Amino acid sequence: MPRARDRFTANISLLFRELPYLDRPRAARAAGFSAVESWWPFPGPTATTAELDEFLAALSAAEVRLDALNFYAGDMAAGERGVANDPSRQDELSANLEQVVAIAEATGCRKFNLLVGNIDPGLEASTRRATAARSVRAAAERVARFGGTVLVEALSRAANPHYPFATGIEVVAFLDTELSDSPNAKLLFDTFHLGANGVDLVPAATELADWIGHVQLADAPGRGAPGSGTLPIRETLAALDAGGYSGALAAEYEPAERTAEDLGWIDTLLGDDPEPS
């Protein structure tokens, strides 16, 4: 399946960081992106009305579509990677879910990434996993009312040693067992996180095709732009295409330079596709 440039979206939590956050949607549009995605853009699980209005106004003024949004994931700078598996923080996640829904209603966003949380030695593994499953199920049920999808991803072990999922197979095992009653809970296929963990991306893209709800692109090592590392990005995209994935391809990487000067990789990937392995 041929790819078009407008399938590529910009993650404005990583791209255009040389600019204030609210200026990044306009910068993404100027760089040729018609859609963006974002991590949760506020410091706490809920934002003020003024903060929400500023965020929505920045998207509207830039004339970009919000394609995907993360749920609140705790204090990311301090190493937290979600609160979904913490029984003591379900009120935070519930309040966040209502704001995610409000943003979805205002923007048309339909994909929502839910980091499940680090393993906590103070809680039994079965309690953590069951709590995470309940959290994902509740979010999936809520966003299913307007055709939304909840995404679950694996994270790189090196940077996230306490996160429970390192491979797509582990995520799918979670979705296929604890969440078999939530068909709109899907795998977020992130080439950096999977590739950094030693996953062979091309066969993984084929084997997991039915579970993939969203794709994010970065190379490894280094989490730079596609083509900056050693991962078989073009071959992986060909395998995704062959497996029927036709959704967005999100640029979620650490730019080597000013972002607008670091986008040549997109046109490189739009060259002749290799045969999928």
Class of the CATH domain delimited by 5-269: alpha beta
Instruction: State pLDDT tens for residues 189-212.
Output: 999 999 999 999 999 999 999 999
Q: Which of 51, 63, 153, 257 is catalytic?
A: 153
Identify the burial level of 130 via C-beta atoms within 10 angstroms of its C-beta, where 0-12 means exposed, 13-18 middle and 19 or more buried.
Answer: middle
Instruction: State pLDDT tens for residues 204-236.
Output: 999 999 999 999 999 999 999 999 999 999 999
Q: Which of 63, 105, 141, 252 is catalytic?
A: 252
Confidence of residue 272 (pLDDT cuts 50, 70, 90): low
Integer-rounded Cα radius of gyration of the chain: 18
Residue type, 227: G
Confidence of residue 107 (pLDDT cuts 50, 70, 90): very high
Q: In the numeric block, which tokens belong to residue 276?
A: 């999928």
DSSP 21: G
Instruction: State pLDDT tens for residues 15-43.
Output: 999 999 999 999 999 999 999 999 999 99
Percent of all residues in the chain with a pLDDT value above 90, rounded to a whole number: 91
Residue type, 125: A
Q: What's the pLDDT score for residue 276?
A: 40
CB 143 within 8 Å of CB 184: yes
DSSP 85: T
Q: Pick the closest to residue 225 from 265, 186, 184 (CA basis).
A: 265
Instruction: State pLDDT tens for residues 35-74.
Output: 999 999 999 999 999 999 999 999 999 999 999 999 999 9
Told to judge if 51 belongs to the known catalytic residues of this protein, a careful annotator would answer no
Q: What's the pLDDT score for residue 4?
A: 79
**Integer Cα distance of 60 and 38 in angstroms:** 15
Domain boundaries of the chain, sorted by first residue: 5-269
Told to judge if 275 belongs to the known catalytic residues of this protein, a careful annotator would answer no
What's the CA dihedral at 153, 158, 163, 166 to 10 degrees? Answer: 50
Percent of all residues in the chain with a pLDDT value above 70, rounded to a whole number: 97
Instruction: State pLDDT tens for residues 125-153.
Output: 899 999 999 999 999 999 999 999 999 99
The per-residue pLDDT of the chain, averaged, comes to: 95
